[in-house]
């Protein structure tokens, strides 16, 4: 029997209780931009999933700070990152993507210098 869903649910609960992410979460978050963008040089992940942040701001956030080939990526690239993050955490989480220091995507909003947002 495959219990992947149960394991992910347990990891999600631990994150919600502690505000910390597991090493599995961290590795996944750091690897996804390599799938999404071309010629990735560096990836930094910033996040705040603590209860204090969530109570104050209504949601936690994950930020991808990616140094990669600068070009126009399709909206699907950003939407995929958002979907993957929401699959392992929760559907209200805010996802921000910086490409070479410029914000190109914020889930749920429109960024003037980026594609249409989800």
Q: What domains can be seen in the chain, in order of their start residue?
A: 4-106 (3.30.300)
Q: What element of type H or E holds 92?
A: none
Do 19 and 48 form a contact (C-beta atoms < 8 A)? yes
Q: In the predicted model, what is the mean pLDDT of residues 83-99?
A: 92
Most confident of 4-18, 19-33, 62-76: 62-76
Work out the pLDDT band at 109, boundaries 50, 70, 90: low
Q: Which long-range contacts (CB under 8 A, 24 or more apart) does 106-111 make?
A: 107/82
Do 81 and 97 form a contact (C-beta atoms < 8 A)? yes
Do 98 and 64 form a contact (C-beta atoms < 8 A)? yes
pLDDT single digits (tens) 32-90? 999 999 999 999 999 998 888 888 887 889 999 999 998 999 999 999 999 999 988 88
User: Between residues 21 and 82, which one has the greater pLDDT?
Assistant: 82
Residue 107 main-chain phi, psi, to 5 deg: -60, 135
Work out the pLDDT band at 11, boundaries 50, 70, 90: confident
């Amino acid at each position: 029997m495959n219990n992947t869903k149960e394991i992910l649910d347990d990891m999600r609960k631990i994150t919600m209780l502690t505000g910390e992410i597991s090493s599995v979460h961290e590795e996944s978050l750091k690897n996804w931009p390599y799938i999404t963008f071309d010629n990735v040089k560096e990836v930094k992940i910033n996040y705040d999933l603590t209860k204090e942040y969530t109570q104050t701001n209504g949601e936690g956030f994950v930020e991808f700070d990616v140094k990669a080939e600068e070009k126009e990526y399709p909206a699907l690239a950003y939407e995929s990152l958002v979907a993957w993050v929401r699959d392992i955490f929760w559907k209200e989480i805010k996802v921000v993507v910086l490409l070479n220091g410029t914000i190109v995507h914020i889930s749920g909003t429109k960024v003037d210098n980026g594609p249409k947002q989800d």
